[in-house]
Amino acid sequence: MATSDRSKLRRTLQALCLSAALCAAAPALADNLPEVQRLIRQGQYPQALEKVDAYLETRPKDAQGRFLKGLILTEMNRPNDAIALFTKLTEDYPELPEPYNNLAVLYAQQKQYDRARTALEMAIRTHPSYAIAYENLGDVYAKLASQAYDKALQLDSSNAAAQNKLALIRDLVSTPGKPGARPATV
């Protein structure tokens, strides 16, 4: 057998071995996301982050893996990292409403209600029947209304209408069992 034929055969065998290895690894990688979700449900965030990072090393653009990482970062009280991740997701996948919704939740937690409103409006624009986004938008509008009534009362403390409206809004927002803005989950 000639040297060039042996080289071709060796390259073909290497390619076949690499292909077989990748095919064998693919199911293991695909199984990582359910494992990550299980770890999240169990509150094992460092382990979940480790697994999702390993998954994303091989699939850095995977939207679901990146979204899960954003959820983990949120749960680990790393809102700035989560905001950066969800923002990048909205840039890469502007048609997905969930990253916009979760950005809004993070903004609302930081009392950045205008940014939260804008993010929720984008979520609704991409998915007009996204109920959680509408509910969260209502919560954000309630917070904005509360701020407006507070300002009205600072300017005119005798304004009975503003006092009544503020009391209604506060009652609405503080209703037991109503946690406020809800993040999207997978």
Same domain, 105 and 158: yes
Report residue 32's pLDDT band, with 50, 70 and 90 as the boundaries.
Answer: confident
Same domain, 69 and 106: no
Q: CA Rg, the chain, in Å?
A: 24
Same domain, 152 and 65: no
Which pLDDT score, from 0 to 100, does residue 133 have? Answer: 97
Report residue 10's pLDDT band, with 50, 70 and 90 as the boundaries.
Answer: very low
Whether 1 is in a domain gets the answer no
Report residue 185's pLDDT band, with 50, 70 and 90 as the boundaries.
Answer: low
State the total domains in the chain: 2
Report residue 5's pLDDT band, with 50, 70 and 90 as the boundaries.
Answer: very low
Whether 132 is in a domain gets the answer yes
- Residue 41, CA distances (Å) to 37, 44, 53, 134 in order: 6, 8, 17, 25
Whether 64 is in a domain gets the answer yes
Q: Which two tokens stand for residue 130?
A: 């996204």
What does DSSP assign to residue 180? Answer: S
How many other CB atoms sit within 10 Å of the CB of residue 72? 26
Same domain, 98 and 71: no
Contacts of 113-120 with C-beta under 8 Å, sequence gap 24+, read 113/140, 113/143, 113/144, 113/147, 114/144, 116/140, 116/181, 117/141, 117/144
Whether 85 is in a domain gets the answer no
Same domain, 112 and 155: yes
Kindly report whether the global pTM for this prediction surpasses the value 0.85: no
Q: How far, in Å, CA of 121 to CA of 36, rounded?
A: 30
Same domain, 176 and 137: yes
Per the CB < 8 A criterion, the answer to whether 140 and 181 are in contact is yes
Domain of 50 in residue numbering reads as 8-78
